[in-house]
Structure 1
Amino acid sequence: MESTSHLTVPLYRLAHGRTGDKGDRSNISVIAWHPELWELLVQQVTEDAVARQFAARRPRRVTRYLLPQLQAMNFVLDGVLDGGVNDALNLDSHGKALSYLLLDLPVRVPQSLAPLLAGPP
């Protein structure tokens, strides 16, 4: 049950993403829409949370790099690209598709920060 003091929303309501890939490694950056949302991102968008979100892709390792002055973080996911773009039979699993999977991660947000969220309530 949803707490009246918090709501659960997808990550894309708090941040946007950028992606890149090289070989069998994907880089996904998460950038806060507002600086006030940064601490929530640091607390909840962790290496473990991202590994769980990508469990079906079976990443070998997930590494998070924080860029606090930009209110951004970069995730490096090893082993999630089916061997790499040139070897994969499923090209839809690369680039933006993987950032969309991450941006669907559920995040709990205090009601007091709800006015900062992007998109529909």
Structure 2
Amino acid sequence: MALVQLRDISQVRAGDKGNTVNIALFAPSDELYRIFLREVTPEKVKAHFRGWIEGEVIRYEVPNLMALNFVCRRALNGGGSSSIRMDNLGKCFGTNLQRMMIEVGGK
């Protein structure tokens, strides 16, 4: 097993609406998609954003695009117009998710 950052093996797209963040994580191959299914769980995503996501994290699997879509509730401290956070945009969550370390190979 090797530990790698998602940024080295994925692409992301993210955005927000109100107090909800949406993060789409794309795998470049079927093999990596299967690893993402195993390693990038809603629980791990919420733990990765500890202190930032206060609500639930829901994962939708999109196998025909080799993608996972995460909907993160209560993630923006109330939303753009009510938050006092310096950087409150959901698109920043995509890059931050790519800092997550996962195990590849084996299993």
TM value normalised by structure 2: 0.90
Q: How far did residue 29 of structure 1 move?
A: 0.4
Aligned: 1:88 with 2:83: yes
Unaligned stretches of 5+ in structure 2? none
Aligned: 1:19 with 2:14: yes
Corresponding residue to 1:48 among 40, 43, 60: 43
Structure exhibiting the larger radius of gyration computed from Cα positions? 1
- Where do 4+ consecutive residues of structure 1 move more than 6 Å? none
Match of 1:105 in 2: 100
CA distance, structure 2, for counterparts of residue 22 and residue 36 of structure 1: 32
CA distance, structure 2, for counterparts of residue 19 and residue 58 of structure 1: 15
CA distance, structure 2, for counterparts of residue 30 and residue 59 of structure 1: 21
Structure 1's 105 and 63: CA in aligned 2 closer, same or farther, altered over 3 A? same
Q: How far did residue 86 of structure 1 move?
A: 1.6
CA RMSD, Structure 1 to Structure 2 (Å): 1.5
Paired residue secondary structure (1:28): strand
What number of residue pairs does the alignment pair up?
Answer: 106
Match of 2:60 in 1: 65
Residue identity (%): 31
Structure 1's 20 and 96: CA in aligned 2 closer, same or farther, altered over 3 A? closer
CA distance, structure 2, for counterparts of residue 46 and residue 57 of structure 1: 17
Unaligned stretches of 5+ in structure 1? 1-5, 112-121
Per-residue CA shift, 1:16-54, capped at 9, x if unaligned?
Answer: 110111110000000012222110000000011101001
